[in-house]
A and B are shown apart, each in its own frame.
Chain A
Amino acid sequence: MRVATDIGGTFTDLVYVDGEGNIGVAKSPTTPPNFEQGVIDVISKSEVDPQSIQTFIHGTTVIINALTERTGVTTGLITTAGFRDVLEIARGNRPDLFNLRYEKPEPFVERYLRQEVSERMNQLGEVVLPLDEERIKELVDYFKKENVDAIAVAYLHAYKNPAHEIRTVELIEKLWPEVAVTASHEVTKEWREYERTNTAVLNSYVKPIASSYINRLNGRLGELGTGELRYIMQSNGGTTTFEQAKQTPINMVESGPVAGIYGAAYLGEIIGEKNIIAFDIGGTTAKCSLIADGEVKVSTDYYIEKDEYNAGYPIKTPVVDIVEIGNGGGSIAWIDEGGALKVGPQSAGSVPGPVAYGQGGTEPTTTDANLLTGRLSAGNFDYDVDMGRVKEAIKEKVADRFGMEPEDGALGIIRIANSNMLNALKLISVRKGYDPRDFTLVAFGGGGSMHAPALAKELGVGKVVVPIASPVFSAWGMLMTDLRHDYIQTYIARVNGLDLKKFNNEWDELADTATAQFQEEKIAKENIRLLRFADMRYAGQEHTVKVPLVSGPITQESIQQLICDFHELHEKNYTFKIEDAETEIVNLHLTAFGSIEKPTLKKLETGVGSVTEALKENRPVYYEQEGWVDTDVYDRQKLGPDMTFNGPAIIEEQAAVTVIYPGQSALIDDYGNLIIETEVR
């Protein structure tokens, strides 16, 4: 039995797959601040026998919560002399250009806890000044006196030569074994000192929190007697062991959300779709990610709290590329001072929630609009819905302002919300040089399936897949993951005249590191898969393209291939190539997978029941083009393989609804996935 649990804002989800490939789900409330309790609760609610759990995979919001709520520990920072303020100066940028009262993000370490030591490497990794070891001893005493719980060490050019950082950590661990320490090169080996320093600081800041959480969870799982294979979901779309997660908790910052993206890619493999746009709508946000040719894109250009008003904080660890916007089911519709309708980013949240919840919410939300237009049914809410109040709120706050009927106001809210989401979907596809017509939209989360068919039509996507377990799809994705580690090493070199021996050595070292890591995690050699990429650019340019590299020793031939591929990818991403320009490597990127055994999914029985039996009701639904249309409503539970029907139609399941538009058609596949053909091609 393989079990995945995913902690969300309101619910902790569980999905399991047993030895025969049967899938089951459960949900239980999230239990802050003792999140492990919610995990134990949901296991018990699922009625899975804990002792039959061989593999346990977990996604958690503990790290991101500690960061955004500033509940990490007091952290000290040691830097190269002359550079303690790098953390505070940051990059000096101001996204909110015209706000002359811009507030710069405050560093996570106050100035008196940022201390300097005499040492220096140059850009070649040569020692310019030796490390002043005496000073480290003084600083340990100082940090003890100041009640520091964690220390970060970040020296210049440590990505090139980490010797001084390594020695510093050794000294600290000897003098003060209890304190949590992170050296910058342990979390990222890329250049740019501010980004690397901040990443090291944030890792230290949450390290004790992560340790204590994982230890508690591990203890509780031990008491239940679950198997020893326990993994945590990382931001790179793969898992790691509990032990490793305690060392670099910053790798878990997007633990939950990326699992859904990975799940979409995995599902694509099963159903034969290699090009996928994964699309997840929750209560407050919508997230999307593009998967081309089966590959989940990972980058280290990740920030927390960054938006058009705030510079945010960089975290230079590999994170699945996700675009997130402030539009979800709870997003509030409002009219701005110039009389234009806007939806989000403010959300009614779960308390008070949409007007429909009847919990005191007075502002109309996307959910309310979906209810008034018949997409959602009052009967499916956990609350007693007062339709009169929903209608009144939309009438008063939106429709009356434009002199229109409430349902037209509601449709306006849906259209504006869709427009916001469409822009996000275009951002990851059209604007990166991909044609959406080559892609399939996989929609999940509470609201994904409701909006996806309309968006697919707008975007020109021909097919929408609403997977089984779509409301808990992130947990489903976790079930399918392998262990994954990314090793990224800044390595600046012109490709012409590249020293092949040195280059191969560098790769071998990365591969050795990966193999050693997996050995510790008890992964057999034959289950290790290594993928190599070079981050490349035209000499003089800044932005890089990730170019895959063949396996095996690198020869002049493979280098020529690399250059060719680079030109092609550059043209795809940036619209042009310069064939005669010199190319340069910036980073080496090794992705290492350690595959663990997974059960194959079971195909569902065909010929059980009929579409007519799945029909729940017929109700009027208000569409953009057609107006009110009486629409058949189906119960997803009762839909089986090979059943087909045409839109307009509504499909209801627990915690999600799919809206199929007139002109679109739907099919249930062998695994229970709902496949919608949009009217585009």
Chain B
Amino acid sequence: MTAIKEHQKLDPFTLEIVKDSLVAIGEEMFHTLARTSMSPVIYEVLDYASGLTDAKGQLLTQGNGVTGFIGMLTFMVKETLKKFGNEGDLKPGDIIIINDSYGGGGSHLSDVGFVMPIFVDGELIAFAANKAHWTDVGGKDPGSFSNDATEIYQEGLQLPCVKLYDEGRLNQAIIDMIEANVRFPNLSLGDLWAQVAAIRTGDKRVRELCEKNGTQTVKAAIENYLDHGEQMARKELAKLPKGEFFAKDFVDDDGFGNGPFHVQVKVTITEDKFICDFRGSHPQVPGPVNVTYTGLVSAVRTVFLAITNPSQDVNDGVFRPLEIITDPASILSAERPAPVSVYWEAMQGGADVVMQALASHLPDRLPAGQLLSVCAVTLSGNHHVNGEPFLIVEPSAGGWGAARGQDGARGQFCIGDGETYNVPVEVAETRYGVMIDEYSLKTDGMGAGEFIGGAGVIRSYRAMTDKQMVSATFGRNKFHPWGLNGGEKGSPNEFIIEKKDGSTDGPFGMYPRYPLDKGDVVKLMTATGGGYGNPLKRPVEQVARDVKNGYMTAIQAEEKYGVKVNPTTFQVDGITGKREN
């Protein structure tokens, strides 16, 4: 290997090349984890993140499967630095495991994180970190996240920032504890090894980078990179409208019939700050819809990136202008022992009010309201062919809001997800004890507008054995996705049970452990997005096309859009008086 000497001048191109290498390391760590994971929720749904921070825990690069983790790696590293803060506490080869929501975790216990300090010649240079959703971490319900938990203790095993590896030596006791406390130990431990492999890849690559370019060069590149991120964000910030912007909305309920709970924000944009003040939002609640401050930060960061520059490299420099203020122990900044297993309800509620406050001012960056909820489903039982137990854990796709110049996307996962993939029908039917009767667009209720809200999705699981159980958490069930600049609101997330005997039950937004017997069907129906602009301005021919495509009915075309479309030929028969005006 050609080791370049330290004294070589730090030209801007070397710094750029080292920066690119850091980003490439982040990507490699990300793909290593996906390739080696044993759990569908990681390798299919990509419900994980991985990346590098500097020695102080500032995020350098993060590979993301979902937006919801943006920022959480930083908090894990900072917790590690807090707990192992004395000189010599951290050593080469250490790997720390964390899932404690209130101690660096940030989301729910299902998301298990790892942190590894990276040393070069005895000097702490950086940290590698990752965090992934395990199929199960114990607790009272299969899949661990439960929509009727009342304390975090019911939500699974808590791993409070402890060393899994001490100078490269495995602490077998932790493995044994995990094995004894989770429902599918081979899956969870498989994920553990995958995460360890991925994080070690990061360690190895950063050390190689230092060996090749010199540690000083790498450190300089890190500084330079963070400053570059800040500079890019500030440039975008300068383009935003200045002032105070307000919005208020509700989180449906907490699974115990409490609610709705109001969340509110005052967004203040100045020349160099972007402040989100959530004070006045509802105090933390008995059910598990609360989010920690860390989780809220991730949600707000997502919107901040969407507004400033969605395609830039993401590092902590970018977020330097951002400030987030909450009351203590609110639904948006919960404190122990509040349950948090379906935390995304409050988390995305927080993101959504920021979007509502700003959308009409930034129509080129923000669309109307969307399904918003992860719409998580867990379904468990025994397989109809091999008799083995199975567990489905998955989010649901739904409708996105329309925006200026753009209809809403049909059948996409919510803002908190991202590079998230649905489970193919053929894979699900092979692996699980179900048949899927339908996987189609739900067009009814697409938010009317000049640009129309996106269709939701219908997915129907038919149980193929007795004694199955389905739990679902579909927020945005009582308060619909909002329309923008004259567009109408969309329809809610909901699900019903169609029993073998012909009776139906529901609709529900949140339900823990609904029993299903062979032949019973749970029909999941996600929200349609809000519309943008006055529906009467949607071109007549486009409306006729929408009817032909079944995105709306002829009746809706006439009522909402003022266009009379022949329901068999799909020709335009005329327009209504409302439209003429």
Determine if A246 is an interface residue (Cβ-Cβ < 8 Å): no
Question: Given A416-B17, A460-B1, A540-B190, does the pair A94, B427 have CB atoms closer than 8 Å?
Answer: no
In the complex formed, the residue of B with least CB distance to A541 is B38
**CB proximity to B under 8 Å, residues A188-202:** 191-195
When the two chains form the complex, which single residue of B40, B187, B419, B457 contacts A89, counting CB atoms closer than 8 Å?
A: B457
When the two chains form the complex, which single residue of B186, B187, B415, B421 contacts A93, counting CB atoms closer than 8 Å?
A: B421
Question: Given A89-B411, A104-B409, A111-B550, does the pair A540, B397 have CB atoms closer than 8 Å?
Answer: no
Residues of A within 8 A of B19 (CB): 340
CB-based contact B438/A83 at 8 Å: yes
Contact with A along B409-435 (1 / 0, CB 8 A): 111110101111110111101100001
CB-based contact B426/A191 at 8 Å: yes
Interface-lining segment among A31-39, A225-233, A289-297, A418-426:
A418-426
CB-based contact B310/A99 at 8 Å: yes
CB-based contact A85/B406 at 8 Å: no
CB-based contact A82/B439 at 8 Å: yes
Determine if B67 is an interface residue (Cβ-Cβ < 8 Å): yes
CB-based contact B435/A337 at 8 Å: no
Determine if B514 is an interface residue (Cβ-Cβ < 8 Å): no
Determine if A618 is an interface residue (Cβ-Cβ < 8 Å): no
Report the minimum CB–CB distance from B544 to chain A (whole Å): 11
**CB proximity to B under 8 Å, residues A409-463:** 411-412, 415-416, 419-420, 423, 426-427, 431, 457, 460
CB-based contact A123/B430 at 8 Å: yes
Determine if B365 is an interface residue (Cβ-Cβ < 8 Å): yes
CB-based contact A576/B197 at 8 Å: yes
Residues of B within 8 A of A538 (CB): 38, 190
CB-based contact B438/A82 at 8 Å: yes
CB-based contact A92/B397 at 8 Å: yes
When the two chains form the complex, which single residue of A112, A124, A191 contacts B549, counting CB atoms closer than 8 Å?
A: A112
When the two chains form the complex, which single residue of B37, B364, B419 contacts A541, counting CB atoms closer than 8 Å?
A: B37
CB-based contact B306/A98 at 8 Å: yes
Q: A541-B38, A576-B36 are in contact. List 15 more A-B contacts (CB 8 A).
A: A82-B438, A82-B460, A93-B418, A93-B420, A97-B310, A100-B355, A123-B426, A156-B426, A157-B429, A193-B426, A341-B16, A408-B11, A419-B21, A426-B24, A543-B34
In the complex formed, the residue of A with least CB distance to B420 is A93
Bound-state Cα–Cα, A575 to B36, Å: 9
Interface-lining segment among B224-232, B468-476, B553-561:
B224-232
When the two chains form the complex, which single residue of A84, A92, A680 contacts B422, counting CB atoms closer than 8 Å?
A: A92
Determine if A503 is an interface residue (Cβ-Cβ < 8 Å): no
CB-based contact B17/A419 at 8 Å: yes
CB-based contact B413/A85 at 8 Å: no
Bound-state Cα–Cα, A102 to B40, Å: 25
29 residue pairs bridging A and B, Cβ less than 8 Å apart? A83-B438, A83-B439, A85-B439, A85-B441, A86-B425, A88-B441, A89-B410, A92-B412, A92-B457, A93-B46, A94-B418, A96-B311, A101-B406, A104-B409, A123-B429, A191-B430, A337-B232, A340-B16, A340-B228, A419-B20, A420-B20, A457-B2, A492-B430, A541-B190, A542-B44, A575-B32, A575-B197, A575-B201, A576-B193
Bound-state Cα–Cα, A195 to B314, Å: 31
CB-based contact B426/A192 at 8 Å: yes
Bound-state Cα–Cα, A427 to B197, Å: 17
Bound-state Cα–Cα, A192 to B36, Å: 20
CB-based contact B437/A82 at 8 Å: yes
Residues of A within 8 A of B1 (CB): 460
When the two chains form the complex, which single residue of B70, B229, B310 contacts A96, counting CB atoms closer than 8 Å?
A: B310
Bound-state Cα–Cα, A208 to B361, Å: 48
CB-based contact A82/B440 at 8 Å: yes
**CB proximity to A under 8 Å, residues B161-176:** none
Residues of B within 8 A of A195 (CB): 424
Determine if A388 is an interface residue (Cβ-Cβ < 8 Å): no
Determine if A95 is an interface residue (Cβ-Cβ < 8 Å): yes
Bound-state Cα–Cα, A110 to B180, Å: 52
Residues of A within 8 A of B232 (CB): 336-338
Residues of B within 8 A of A90 (CB): 411
CB-based contact B422/A89 at 8 Å: yes
Residues of A within 8 A of B441 (CB): 85, 88-89
Question: Of B35, B193, B302, which is in contact with the most chain A CB atoms at under 10 Å from its CB?
Answer: B35
Bound-state Cα–Cα, A15 to B438, Å: 53
CB-based contact B367/A101 at 8 Å: yes
Question: Of B28, B232, B411, B425, which is in contact with the most chain A CB atoms at under 10 Å from its CB?
Answer: B425
Report the 5 A-B pairs with minimum CB-CB distance, sorted nearest first.
A89-B411, A92-B397, A99-B310, A82-B438, A98-B305
Report the minimum CB–CB distance from A165 to chain B (whole Å): 14
Bound-state Cα–Cα, A157 to B425, Å: 9
Interface SS, A side: loop
Determine if A122 is an interface residue (Cβ-Cβ < 8 Å): yes
Bound-state Cα–Cα, A574 to B142, Å: 29
Bound-state Cα–Cα, A119 to B367, Å: 39
Determine if B83 is an interface residue (Cβ-Cβ < 8 Å): no
Question: Given A84-B440, A191-B427, A339-B228, does the pair A98, B44 have CB atoms closer than 8 Å?
Answer: no
CB-based contact A92/B367 at 8 Å: no
CB-based contact A337/B419 at 8 Å: no
Residues of B within 8 A of A340 (CB): 12, 16, 19, 228
Report the minimum CB–CB distance from A156 to chain B (whole Å): 6
CB-based contact A193/B17 at 8 Å: no
When the two chains form the complex, which single residue of B231, B412, B424, B426 contacts A102, counting CB atoms closer than 8 Å?
A: B412
Determine if B551 is an interface residue (Cβ-Cβ < 8 Å): yes
Report the minimum CB–CB distance from B92 to chain A (whole Å): 19
CB-based contact A574/B36 at 8 Å: yes
Residues of B within 8 A of A542 (CB): 37, 40, 43-44
Determine if B403 is an interface residue (Cβ-Cβ < 8 Å): yes
Bound-state Cα–Cα, A96 to B435, Å: 32
Report the minimum CB–CB distance from B37 to chain A (whole Å): 7
Report the minimum CB–CB distance from A555 to chain B (whole Å): 26
Report the minimum CB–CB distance from B259 to chain A (whole Å): 26
Residues of B within 8 A of A578 (CB): 190
When the two chains form the complex, which single residue of B67, B70, B305, B425 contacts A83, counting CB atoms closer than 8 Å?
A: B425
CB-based contact A309/B311 at 8 Å: yes
Determine if A91 is an interface residue (Cβ-Cβ < 8 Å): yes
Determine if B478 is an interface residue (Cβ-Cβ < 8 Å): no
Residues of A within 8 A of B417 (CB): 94
CB-based contact B67/A97 at 8 Å: yes
**CB proximity to A under 8 Å, residues B1-55:** 1-2, 11-13, 16-17, 19-21, 24, 28, 31-32, 34-40, 43-44, 46
Determine if A573 is an interface residue (Cβ-Cβ < 8 Å): yes
Report the minimum CB–CB distance from A544 to chain B (whole Å): 10
Residues of A within 8 A of B457 (CB): 85, 89, 92
**CB proximity to B under 8 Å, residues A153-199:** 156-157, 159, 191-195
Question: Given A104-B410, A123-B430, A338-B228, does the pair A91, B422 have CB atoms closer than 8 Å?
Answer: yes
**CB proximity to B under 8 Å, residues A539-576:** 540-543, 573-576
Bound-state Cα–Cα, A576 to B35, Å: 11
In the complex formed, the residue of B with least CB distance to A160 is B426
Bound-state Cα–Cα, A39 to B440, Å: 46
Question: Given A83-B440, A94-B418, A103-B409, does the pair A122, B366 have CB atoms closer than 8 Å?
Answer: no
